[in-house]
Amino acid sequence: MQSISTIGLDIAKSVFQVHGVDAVGQVVLRRQLRRQHVLAFFQKLPRCLVGIEACASSHHWSRELQALGHTVRLMPPAYVKPYVKRQKNDTTDAEAICEAVTRPNMRFVPTKTVEQQSCLMLHRARHLFIRQQTAVINSIRAYLAEFGIVAPVGRRGVEQLLEVVADTADHRLPEVARACLAALGSQLRALKAQILEFDRRIIAWHRSSTTSKRLDAIPGVGPALATALVASIADPKAFRSGRDFSAWVGLVPKQNSSGGKDKLGSITKQGDRYLRSLFTAGALAVIRYAKIHGTDHRPWLTRLLARRPTKVAAIALANKLARMAWAMMAKDERYKEPAALAA
């Protein structure tokens, strides 16, 4: 094992596949490892380059192997796929990872810290509960509509429906249906309480992060987006420019060019869907504010809204917000108002 210089590690829930080569690319190791034996195996190896696909639990294993002195590189699975030579299985996947990690132009994923992953878990759990809350509200509305009971759209409408459910004197609801709806109402209240708790924890994390507080100064970027950015971007300098970062989020036009003819379509929608949705929501908030209070102090936005629909303008503004956020993180700068706005 002294001759191993590069290892491709295909991680899984229980059984890991290892593919190792020497300095000239000759295969010197192919074997499976049970999860409990992985660290002991790498502890016996000399320090080497280890490639892993950036997937579930990859950041944990990256931190563990780096602690043993190995150089670990995480790669997007889509960039590893072209190196799979035969049918897909653990052995060929590990071999493809081993080859991909040595490519000079390969793009790597920086390893996240435990704190960053904890903050991302807050966001993901909150997002999950919001989706569940929406599903419960839709169920309550649909079930009550079966008995001819409807209410206006919005929070007050849901409260009116729950008041009907709680009113035992209202004979429009059979007892069985009332019991089911009461259970849904209890579930809805529990979800709202948990979402509020997550909001408080996100605000606390935001206040403890210097970078997050700096990003909060950008119009359209609040604590939710600021903390999600800090937690998602382990190393802003991994992106060469703001455009590269915006492309990673999926806010740049899809390109289908050939023969010297440039063809640009809608946005790619590749990358981090959650960040993209937060950027778009922030841009829509800026546009709504501008429509109410006027856009004279933002000439760029004024011209854009004059020639493009609101949703198209929101995507363009979200792209701009992403580039500004990257510049502030990569260059450790504070937000500066545009000249036309500061005047």
Read off the CATH number of the domain in which 61 is found. Answer: 3.30.420.140
Percent of the chain's residues with pLDDT above 90: 78
Give the dihedral of Cα atoms 49, 55, 60, 64; nearest 10 deg: -20
Clarify whether residues 153 and 257 are in a common domain. Answer: no
Clarify whether residues 60 and 120 are in a common domain. Answer: no
Out of 100, 133, 154, a domain closes at 100
pLDDT tens track for 157-212: 999 999 999 999 989 999 999 999 999 999 999 999 999 999 999 999 999 999 99
Q: Is the residue at 105 inside a domain? A: no
Q: Where are the beta strands (DSSP E) in 24-139?
A: 27-34, 49-53, 71-75
In the DSSP assignment, the letter for residue 169 is T
Query: What is the pLDDT confidence band of residue 343, given thresholds at 50, 70 and 90?
Result: very low
Clarify whether residues 67 and 135 are in a common domain. Answer: no
Q: Is the residue at 107 inside a domain? A: no
Q: With contact defined as beta carbons under 8 Å apart, do 190 and 179 qualify?
A: no
Task: Output Rg (C-alpha) for the chain, integer angstroms.
Answer: 26
Clarify whether residues 184 and 259 are in a common domain. Answer: no
Clarify whether residues 200 and 279 are in a common domain. Answer: no
Residue from 336, 326, 302 nearest 316 by CA: 302
Per-residue pLDDT, 257? 65
Clarify whether residues 204 and 121 are in a common domain. Answer: yes
Note down the domain range covering 153: 114-208
> Into how many domains does the chain fold?
3
> What is the spatial distance between Cα 319 and Cα 317, in angstroms, rounded to a whole number?
5
Out of 208, 240, 257, a domain closes at 208
Clarify whether residues 284 and 302 are in a common domain. Answer: yes
Clarify whether residues 46 and 142 are in a common domain. Answer: no
Tokens of 299: 């000439």
Tokens of 159: 């409260």
Out of 32, 65, 100, a domain closes at 100
Q: Is the residue at 106 inside a domain? A: no
Q: Is the residue at 109 inside a domain? A: no
Clarify whether residues 95 and 153 are in a common domain. Answer: no
Per-residue pLDDT, 270? 79
Query: What's the distance, Cα to Cα, between the start and end of the chain in Å?
Result: 67
Looking at the chain, how many residues does it have?
A: 343
Q: Is the residue at 335 inside a domain? A: yes
Clarify whether residues 220 and 338 are in a common domain. Answer: yes
Q: Is the residue at 307 inside a domain? A: yes
Q: Which residues, at least 6 apart from 6, have a Cβ–Cβ distance to it below 8 Å?
A: 20, 21, 48, 49, 50, 51, 98, 101, 102
Find the helix or strand (DSSP H, E) in which 253 lies: strand 253-255
Q: Is the residue at 135 inside a domain? A: yes
Clarify whether residues 75 and 118 are in a common domain. Answer: no
Find the helix or strand (DSSP H, E) in which 264 lies: strand 264-267
Clarify whether residues 247 and 198 are in a common domain. Answer: no
Per-residue pLDDT, 336? 84
